[in-house]
Amino acid sequence: MDIFEKLKKLSAEINGGTGTKPEFIIAGLGNPGIQYENTRHNAGFLAISALEKRYDFTVSSHKFKALTGNAVIGGKSCLVMKPETYMNLSGDAVEEARSFYKIPVENIIVIFDDISLEPGQMRIRRKGSAGGHNGIKSIIAQCATEDFPRIKIGVGKKPRPDYNLADWVLSRFSEDDLKKLEEVNDKVCDAVQLMVQGKISEAMNKFN
């Protein structure tokens, strides 16, 4: 391998294996490990799985304290990630990738669970506070701004007021709710494509 081939290989590795520097980060939030699969708090991970199927790529490389994959969505080069830091430290992974690729925060799309929405519902926001969500709280702290777009996926409210919130978000979806989630994740895929194309208003009008 001559020096030019070595430099080309190094450039491809730096640019996520595609040879093109990512323009966007798409981060689905959740907790790693079999014990957390299909739990409400892992709605963001489930949305990433839907993106993998739709756009034919895999999130399997260990980088930036996350599982990552590279995809072209809506004509844009995207780094897609599932932080492996556990929910409360999601910002560590997102900021490490953002800083490495010098990606502006407005080009970070975060997908996560929301207990204020019922399963089958979604909401898109340009920016905003954490709203009590620890993953978003961590990203805001590490990136030092609230100004990143996000997609909230409904996981349903606690069944009764005295129910422990942590127990609820770490509980598994019912089969019926999983079907609703599959349907809403189709819309999430559509929304992500519009958002990376700069059509966030159109996405909000269509899916909110």
Instruction: Identify residue 11 by its one-letter amino acid code.
Output: S
**In this structure, are residues 98 and 25 in contact, taking their beta carbons and an 8 Å threshold?**
yes
Q: Is 41 a catalytic residue?
A: yes
DSSP 172-187: BPPHHHHHHHHHHHHH
Rg (CA), the chain: 17
CA–CA gap between residue 55 and residue 63 (Å, rounded)? 20
Classified as helix, coil or strand, 124 is strand
**In this structure, are residues 188 and 47 in contact, taking their beta carbons and an 8 Å threshold?**
yes
CATH number for domain 20-207, candidates 3.30.465.10, 3.40.50.1370, 3.40.50.1470, 3.30.70.270? 3.40.50.1470
User: pLDDT tens digits for 70-120?
Assistant: 999 999 999 999 999 999 999 999 999 999 999 999 999 999 999 999 999
Residue of 27, 29, 41, 46 marked active site: 41
User: pLDDT tens digits for 122-146?
Assistant: 999 999 999 989 999 999 999 999 9
